[in-house]
Amino acid sequence: MTGWTEFALALGLFGVSHFLPRVGGLRERLIGAVGRHAYFATYGLLSLALLAWLIAAAGRAPHVELWPQLPWTRWVTNVAMPLAAVLTACGAGLRQPFTLGGRKAPFDPGQPGLAAVSRHPLFLALALWALAHLVPNGDLAHVILFGCFAAMALVAIPAFDARARRELGPEAARSFFRTTRVLSLAPLFDRTWLHANGTTLAPRGAIGLLLWAALLHLHPLVIGVSPLPY
């Protein structure tokens, strides 16, 4: 198997694994057969395995340089990744069902929580991760890899918003979109919002920074390249 063939196969299977379960109610049937926890545990492990293979296959693909890696380009990744990690830690289990990682619970427009800052924090984190890694990785395989991840995340945001409009109905949808944003920093300067959400989000933000520090130190061992500027 050549480098390009392996990369194309890994990329194709990763994409199929994310879209096939949504076709024809396949995911719902599988959940009904094995249970929700078993399905998502198995699906999560499969996704991680395919992601690891995809990243490794991109590294083994023939090197076709589109732009050079300069020392400053690594700063882009190192500045963006702490924010992506904090978004991930704070956004996991967001109390609104119309996003990646959202809880299957009714949304309360009177208490939007982090959704007032972003109703799609995990999609934003994924896009930020991908775009930040795209800058220093200017070879063709990695441009395709990170470009696909960024596009997938950014396309998913309006798709999930459209789903929310369909399922909520006109009145509930107006309340939902009035009290949430794709991205807004204004709540971070609102004392009322900070008083209601700060004690919950501050520990999660700290966990996000610890996650970023762990990823930074594990990167050379797992990926084989140090992310630090040189």
Does residue 57 sit in the same domain as residue 84? no
The whole-model pTM stands at 0.91
Considering the domain architecture, whether residues 81 and 184 belong to the same structural domain is answered as yes
Q: Angle 79-14-114 (CA atoms, 0-180°, nearest 5)? A: 45
Q: Are residues 195 and 98 in the same domain?
A: yes
Do residues 74 and 150 share a domain?
Answer: yes
**Per residue in 90-128, pLDDT tens?**
999 999 999 988 888 888 888 999 999 999 999 999 999
Question: Do 6 and 89 have their domain in common?
Answer: no
211 pLDDT band (50/70/90 cuts)?
very high
Chain mean position to CA 16 = 17
pLDDT of res. 1: 55
30 and 84 share one domain: no
Residues 45 and 130 in one domain: no
Q: Based on the domain organization, do 119 and 216 belong to the same domain?
A: yes
In a domain, 227, yes or no: no
Q: Please check whether residue 230 lies inside any domain of the structure.
A: no
User: Residue 18 pLDDT more than 90?
Assistant: no
Asked if 212 and 81 count as a contact pair (C-beta separation under 8 A), the reply is yes
Domain interval for residue 130: 65-222
Residue 96 belongs to a domain: yes
pLDDT in tens, 22-52: 777 777 888 888 887 888 888 889 998 999 9
Q: Looking at the structure, do residues 79 and 40 belong to the same domain, yes or no?
A: no
Nearest C-alpha neighbor of 128 from the set 54, 78, 71? 78
Structural domain total, the chain:
2
Note whether 50 and 78 are same-domain residues.
no
User: Does a structural domain hold residue 228?
Assistant: no
Q: pLDDT digits over 123-144, tens only?
A: 999 999 999 999 999 999 999 9
Of 62, 88, 105, the domain-final residue: 62
Q: Are residues 55 and 122 in the same domain?
A: no
Residues 38 and 113 in one domain: no
